[in-house]
Amino acid sequence: MIGKLKLVISDYLYGLNFKEDDFYELRKKGFVKLSPLKDEDINNLVKEIESLDYDDEVTSHKYPNSGDTRFFFDENNKFHSIKKLGNENISFLSDKLKKSYASHRMSMINVLDASKREGDFGSGEGWHCDSPFSHQLKIFTFLTNVSSENGPLRIIPFTHSSKNKLKIHNYLRKDLSDFRYTEEEIKKLLESDEFSIKEMTCEPGSRFLVDTRIIHAGKPINKEKRIAVTDYYFKNINEKDIFKKSI
C-alpha cells in the first residue's frame, strides 16, 4: 500500500512539470528522440574521449563482465567537448524540469569493447530501473553507430508508468521496491504480449531523453566498440553525492 502511494505521488509531482504538449512521447512511452549532434561535434568528442586513457588525472572504472569502461565527470570539468555537450543537452529540459529533476548533473563516458568482455552482461549488468518509485531523467548520446551486435540500449516502452509498474510487479509477484529483474522474469513478462523490447539502434550523434524508471538494460556487445555519453540528472546535491559514493 505504501509503495503504491509513493508511485501515485511521484506521478502527480512529475506531471506538474509539463505543459499539455511537452514531451508527449517521454510521458507516454518513457523516452523521446532528440535532435542529433553535428558531425564536427561527434568527431571532437571521440578524439577527446580517446585521450582519456592517457590522462593521469582521470580515473576509469572497468567492468569486465560487460567489457565496459566508464569515466565520470562533474559539469565543470576541464574537457571542452564533454562540457559543451553537457551544457547543450540540459538545454533540452524546461526550467521546471531542471528545477525539479536536474538541479545537479554529471556526465558519464561509456566505452563498450567486445574484445574486453569476459562475461554475459551488457552495460548496466542486467535489466533494471534506476528508481523503483521516482521518475529520473537521463540523456543518452551515442557517438558511434549502434547496431544490434555492438551493445545497444534496450528498453521496454511504457514500463515507467505507475499503472504498468503495479501490473508488472503483481504479475511477477515482486515487491515494488525491487528494481532489478532476472532474464527469466523479463521472458515471462514478454510472454504476456503486452510488452516488447525496443533496441535503440541508431546512427552516430543520436540522442535520447529517457525516464529511467522504465525497465532497461544494455545488450551484450559482440563486436567492435560502442561509445556513448550519458548525462545523469539529480534533484538535489544529496542525490548526486550518494551517486558519487556508489561509483
Q: Nearest 5 degrees, angle CA 204-CA 94-CA 21?
A: 90
Q: Exposed, middle or buried: residue 140 (CB in 10 Å: 0-12, 13-18, 19+)? A: buried
Model confidence at 9, in pLDDT bands (50, 70, 90)? Answer: confident
Q: Exposed, middle or buried: residue 16 (CB in 10 Å: 0-12, 13-18, 19+)? A: exposed
Bigger pLDDT: 105 vs 121:
105
**For residue range 61-77, what is the model confidence (pLDDT) as tens digits?**
899 999 899 999 998 88
Residue 107 CB contacts under 8 Å (≥ 6 apart), including other chains: 72, 73, 75, 77, 82, 85, 86, 229, 230, 231, 232
Residue 144 CB contacts under 8 Å (≥ 6 apart), including other chains: 46, 150, 204, 224, 225, 226, 227, 228
C-alpha cell at 141: 548520446
Q: Name the pTM for this structure.
A: 0.94
- Report, as an integer, the average pLDDT of 114-140: 89
Decide: 151 and 219 in contact? Cβ < 8 Å.
yes
